[in-house]
Chain A
Amino acid sequence: MSESVVAAEHDYIGLSEFPTMETATTTMSDKTKTRDNNNDGLNFKATELRLGLPGSESPERVDTRFLSLNKTSCPVSGAKRVFSDAINESNKWVFSPGSTTATGDAGSGSGPGSSVVKDGKSTTFSKPAVPVKEKKNSATAPASKAQVVGWPPIRSFRKNSMASSQSQKPGNNSETEDAEAKSGPEQQPCLYVKVSMEGAPYLRKIDLKTYKSYLELSSALEKMFSCFTIGQFGSHGGCGRDGLNESRLTDLLRGSEYVVTYEDKDSDWMLVGDVPWEMFICSCKKLKIMKSSEAIGLAPRVMEKCRSRN
């Protein structure tokens, strides 16, 4: 597995790559090469250190300027505009600082100052002047729906139950899909599977649809279970703070110690990574991270993989 977290370059919000507003238009085009489903910088997003479900996005902060500015003119579209930007862009704080912006510098009370010093580098956060997109008529609207963490406020238990019941019913209410209808998993709002790890005190649930590749999935799992592996060396009952860090975990995971397996539709346990991603998310029912020694009977490839990693 390649290094999935870019160290030090990412400040806590993950904005250091992003330009100030003035240079936004030019650099945005640079970002297009990472475009995926019209979500700018999706690959960056996937590797950003963030809280919340890995791969999911939180909406942008709504800058007070935008709200008050847009209200006087056209509240509905203005507000929508801001929010659609929230979904369509990667995480960015919207700050006030003295930077003049394309939308003008409204004098209304604005957020706190924004320069951050990290590793001697000073970055000003501001929102690039991305061309405004209305939610519906974007030509590259993704087949999967926009996701905001925790909104609408529905318990994941309910979401899961509905997701699994929808998968059983063909021809259900998926008329809202775009013309390019995708296969099964795309029509579900989310695809939660349980992930358990040997020796971990409890299991987690993740939404497979928020990942686009095995790489994303594995980095998310690494992150999620790092505290368990660390915990094995330290106190139990919570995440350890022994100073063991992620690199220790990645060593553990890359070393032959753990493999990720999954239970498919036929209730067979398979090694994750053998089949193409699309096929995998169609058939995966649960995930389990087990010790390589336990997984030996699973497939001859396990041994192969162990050898190739070492």
Chain B
Amino acid sequence: MALRLPSKVLKHILSFIDSNEDRNSVSLVCKSWFETERKTRKRVFVGNCYAVTPAAVARRFPAMRSLTLKGKPHFADYNLVPDGWGGYACPWIESMAAKSPYLEEIRLKRMVVTDDCLERIAASFKNFKVLVLTSCEGFSTDGIAAIASTCRNLRVLELRECIVEDLGGDWLSYFPETSTSLVSLDFSCLDSEVKISDLERLVSRSPNLKSLKLNPAVTLDGLVSILRRAPQLTELGTGSFAAELKPEAFTKLSKAFSNCKQLQSLSGLWDVLPEYLPALYSVCPGLTSLNLSYATVRMPDLVELLRRCSKLQKLWVMDLIEDKGLEAVASYCKELRELRVFPSEPDLDATNIPVTEQGLVYVSKGCRKLESVLYFCVQFTNAALITIARKRPNLKCFRLCVIEPFAPDYKTNEPLDKGFKAIAEGCKDLRRLSVSGLLSDKAFKYIGKHAKKVRMLSIAFAGDSDLMLHHLLSGCESLKKLEIRDCPFGDTALLENAAKLETMRSLWMSSCFVSFGACKLLSQKMPRLNVEVIDEHPPKTRPESSPVERIYIYRTVAGPRMDTPEFVWTLHKNPEIGVSKLAIK
């Protein structure tokens, strides 16, 4: 005789649960909890757009107001996924337009979005408020204009690092003439000029605007004029600073910035000349986020700026900051939580990268709250990794990119096994890890043994044998996304740990030693996985033992997808059919 909570009560309780992970757990308790949960979920997150059909999502969550979708595998960011692979937003938009007309927010990452798609969004969702496109492609500024003109309640329009066909700056003039409800606008990835007068007018009639990220085409003069009209901004992405330094320009800029008393986040700063940096000094004490990763400014100027940023929590910077600059960060920016250091010369042969492992050690020692690191440098040592792990056991995200593949500990010539062992063992809350440098199977044995909370793991040019993959798949309990390139892994580990793959979102392997035969076997063994082979040549003409260039394996309840291009082969579950293209025609 079980006590049952009345659904109204359950509904009320659930209204306090925001986290989708928690809601997923709730929905597994029993049927009635599943029903109540699904009818109350407002924010839906789909980590792999091919894991489930749009119709199924719309059916399950009738109260959906916000949809977040991710398309291409992460390695698409680094050109490892050929164009045309997939990740089309249209089927989702079509489905939602028909079944979830009350949708208000759409966030897409690494998907192909067309102008038609954008027009459909504008036409179908009456109360549309938020559009965030990250690393998307396939649309032009015409599509943006459609959104701007039709979505009367638009609050957020952000294009983050998208590839957009830029047909000119007219789109800006399509926002409604009366006041807009814009809170956030990000067009930093667009190339062409927008008319400053259009921008000024837009800003003037957007009283709620808090976040504005301009594109490099906006000049300093334009920036000054905008800041005068929007002193309430909390987030600003500047345009280009590449203008001749004139004293009046500097004064105007300085004054404009000093009026922005609520500014917390600053980015853009393309081509910033060091002489302009002092204009920013007035906002530094209030900054919590600073993105200098496009600013080719040298260390002394960077330090002069950073020593004023005592509240800084997030810093993105180029390696021009040097170890010395990072030492300064360690002493001035005590609130730092996230650090990313990008290479100023992203070349394989570059050996004069001015940061070394020492820079990261400084920051690890000085910044107690540091929890997220992305660090590019030429080489590293085990000792440094051990120190970092000891000092910062609270690390949640550790991505180290030793640019030189197979680079060992340059002081001892050993692999970096011990160092990454320390990281895996010491940082118990580690959720994301990227390894690099010379690594043997031992390193992965340690990672498998200790990194129990790691959800995403990226590996390149590492390991000795299949054992490495086996350690990872059998050890890392929380593993959700694994991406591997150029490692000598073969079939055994993959087949032995096939069941693990159903507990993960996806596995990417490129330039490894996985054979076509193993892929076939895997797809037969695991019907709820899509085993996609990305290869230019038809697998049918190849023998079983031939290695496959790239595989992308993901769990799905939607079956094999129907939109694969010529070079993607979803291996069919039926061994007789073998390889299925599921051609539409």
Contact = CB atoms under 8 A, between A and B. Distances in A.
Interface string A20-54: 00000000000000000000000000000111110
Interface stretch (A168-176, A269-277, A291-299): A168-176
Nearest to A82: B406
Contacts of B486: 59, 61-62
Contact of B161 (A50, A79, A155, A224): A155
Contact of A176 (B165, B351, B543): B351
Nearest to B112: A202
Nearest to A230: B566
A227 interface: yes
Contact of A159 (B135, B346, B466): B346
Contacts of A235: 584-585
Interface in B534-585: 534-537, 541-543, 545-547, 549-550, 563-567, 581, 583-585
Given A109-B466, A189-B347, A227 B547 contact: no
A202 B86 CA distance: 13
A305 interface: no
B90 A153 contact: no
A76 interface: yes
10 contacts: A51-B550, A59-B511, A61-B547, A111-B488, A113-B543, A145-B350, A161-B216, A176-B347, A201-B138, A239-B565
A118 B540 CA distance: 11
A102 interface: no
A150 B346 CA distance: 11
Interface string A102-143: 000000110111111110000000000000000100000000
Contacts of A87: 348
Interface stretch (B77-85, B279-287, B300-308): B77-85
B437 to A, nearest CB: 10
Interface residues of B, number: 88
A63 B83 CA distance: 29
Given A67-B488, A194-B165, 7 more contacts: A61-B488, A76-B413, A152-B343, A152-B346, A158-B342, A176-B351, A227-B565
Interface stretch (B45-53, B63-71, B229-237, B457-465): B457-465
Q: Say whether chain A's binding surface is mostly helix, strand, loop, or mixed.
A: loop
B88 A237 contact: yes
Contacts of B161: 155, 157
A238 interface: yes
A202 B133 CA distance: 15
B242 A173 contact: no
B137 interface: yes
B176 interface: no
Contacts of B491: 112
Interface of B: 75, 77-80, 82-84, 86, 88, 90, 112, 114, 135, 137-139, 161, 163, 165, 189, 216, 242, 270-271, 293-294, 296, 342-352, 376, 401, 403-408, 413-415, 438, 440, 458, 460-461, 464-466, 485-486, 488, 490-491, 511-513, 515, 534-537, 541-543, 545-547, 549-550, 563-567, 581, 583-585
Chain B contact residues, majority secondary structure: loop
B243 to A, nearest CB: 11
A11 B78 CA distance: 26
Contacts of B549: 51
A95 B404 CA distance: 24
Contacts of B270: 161, 165
Q: Which of B79, B271, B401, B545 has the most CB of A within 10 A?
A: B79
A62 B403 CA distance: 17
A276 to B, nearest CB: 26
A120 B329 CA distance: 65
Contacts of A51: 82, 534-536, 549-550, 567
Contact of B585 (A116, A152, A234): A234
Nearest to A118: B541
Nearest to B346: A154
Given A112-B547, A176-B351, A237 B90 contact: yes
Nearest to B189: A157
A62 B461 contact: yes
Nearest to B463: A67
A174 B405 CA distance: 22
A62 B465 CA distance: 11
A145 B349 contact: yes
Contacts of A62: 461, 486, 488
Contact of A53 (B79, B352, B460, B584): B79
